[in-house]
Amino acid sequence: MCLVMKLQGMRPHRFRRTALDNPSITRVSSGDSAQNSTTGGLDPQISRFYKKPARDRSRLQSSFEMFKCAFVVCGLLAVAAAASSGGRIAGGIDAREGQFPYQVSLRDQRQNHFCGGAILNARWIITAASCAQGKVAADIMAMVGSKSLSRGGSYHQVDRIVVHPNFAEEQLLNDVSVMRVRSPIVMNPDTMAVMMANYYTSIAYGALVSGWGRRGIDQPQFPDWLQYVPTTIITNTECEARFESPYNNRITDAVLCSSSPEGQGICLGDAGGPLVHSGQLQGIVSWGIPCGMGYPDVYARVSVHRAWALVHTMI
């Protein structure tokens, strides 16, 4: 999660999610595929993300001009994560021992964290479909059972990836996938499965999103310790109203949105991570605007995809 970066002394303008350190990296956890790796998935309309008053727009535009090569539309949360070891949820709080036992860190072959996930059972985890782009099972390890990226936990080789058949890469619709691990995950107080929500949530207070994403666009290192942010699930109507075309068209019944105070939110490295409310998995981190600028974060809605996930993950 990330702490907000102030640009030119201006009041932060909520844009959630990620910065690109290496434009040649193949996209691993954003909505872009390997074919877009040379551009890093930068959106040419990056300065048109949000509805803001005209007086704020000009200031935002000038700041974007300075940093536009670093910003990515947030389904790209982990685009550069495999190349840079750094990140934390914006404005995040250190997780306590025993919290978030379902949390997963997805690692590349060099053991670099690039995405989050959640344990469904002893053999399956759930994450974003964008986290599987440009990857094969042999590329991915899943670390479970530790709040630290560098210490403890157990490592499991992924041996199968199932991406939602209706995943739309450009719009990041149905951004959900499940991954099977070769060796069973042993459950204990620090490693537990999470229950998928089976009901539609319109509004809810006190939801928790967790991950090792960046603290800010200007902070290239992921935090070693798991972070979380309390957030509010908002209606899709409100969420849609806070985005400008074409991004408002991505807000469908298959997604869920949350809103956090300015200074808190999702960032590079958080893609695929869990949003939980009342002990049930409500969302999978999908996209947003980097990082912690107060605009909604968008998730794949788990209740909509639950039946599909169960078909593939029932042991």
Q: Which residues lie closer than 8 Å to 267 by C-beta, 6 or more apart?
A: 1, 2, 16, 17, 18, 77, 87, 88, 89, 90, 213, 214, 215, 216, 217, 290, 291, 292
**Percent of the chain whose pLDDT exceeds 90:** 60
Considering all CA atoms of the chain, what is the largest pairwise distance in Å, rounded to the nearest integer? 56
pLDDT at 140 over 70: yes
Domain count, the chain: 2
Predicted local confidence at residue 276, as pLDDT:
98
Contacts of 224 (CB under 8 A, 6+ apart): 148, 149, 150, 151
- Looking at residue 1, what is its pLDDT? 60
Supply the pTM of this predicted model. 0.74
Q: What per-residue confidence (pLDDT) applies to 65?
A: 37
pLDDT at 91: 78
Domain boundary among 168, 193, 218: 193
Q: Tell how many helices (H) and how many strands (E) occur in the chain.
A: 3, 16
Contact 284, 200 (CB under 8 A): no
pLDDT value of position 289: 81
1 or 4: which carries more pLDDT confidence?
1
Residues 131 and 181 reside in one and the same domain? yes
Per-residue pLDDT reduced to its tens digit, 230-281: 999 999 999 999 988 888 999 999 999 999 888 888 998 999 999 999 999 9
Does the pLDDT at position 117 exceed 80?
yes
The answer to whether the CB of 258 falls within 8 A of the CB of 209 is yes
Tell me the per-residue pLDDT of 18-34, one tens digit each, with 9 for 90 and over.
333 332 222 333 333 33
pLDDT value of residue 234: 97
Tell me the average pLDDT of the chain.
Answer: 77
pLDDT tens-digit map of 47-97: 233 333 333 444 444 333 333 333 333 444 443 333 333 334 777 899 999
Does one domain contain both 295 and 201?
yes
Residues 177 and 275 in one domain: no
Identify whether residues 183 and 215 lie together within a single domain: no
Q: What's the pLDDT score for residue 315? A: 59
127 shares its domain with 181: yes
**Comparing C-alpha atoms, which of 47, 59, 45 is closest to residue 6?**
59
The amino acid present at 295, given as its one-letter code, is: Y
From 133, 161, 193, the end of a domain falls on 193
The CATH number covering residue 298 comes to: 2.40.10.10
Do residue 115 and residue 170 come from a single domain?
Answer: yes
The reply to whether 237 and 291 lie within a common domain is: yes
In a shared domain, residues 170 and 205: no
Terminal Cα distance for the chain, rounded: 33
Instruction: Give the model's pLDDT for residue 198.
Output: 95
Average pLDDT over residues 287-312: 92
Residues 176 and 215 in one domain: no
Is 42 among the domain residues? no
Name the more confident of 261 and 4.
261
Angle at CA of residue 105, ends 102 and 111, nearest 5°: 150
- Structural domain boundaries, residue 264: 195-303
CA atoms in the 13 A half-sphere facing the CB of 23: 8
The model's pLDDT over 144-174, given as tens digits with 9 standing for 90+, comes to 999 999 999 999 999 999 999 999 988 899 9
Determine the Cα–Cα distance for residues 247 and 42; give it in Å rounded to an integer: 15
Q: Are residues 293 and 280 part of one domain?
A: yes
Burial of 192 (0-12, 13-18, 19+ CB in 10 A): middle
Please give the DSSP secondary-structure letter assigned to residue 76: G
| pLDDT at residue 292, as a whole number | 79
Structure tokens at 164: 């939602």
Is 308 within the bounds of a domain?
no
Is 203 domain-assigned? yes
| Of the residues 176, 193, 210, the one at which a domain ends | 193
What pLDDT sits at residue 174? 96
pLDDT of 287 higher than 60:
yes
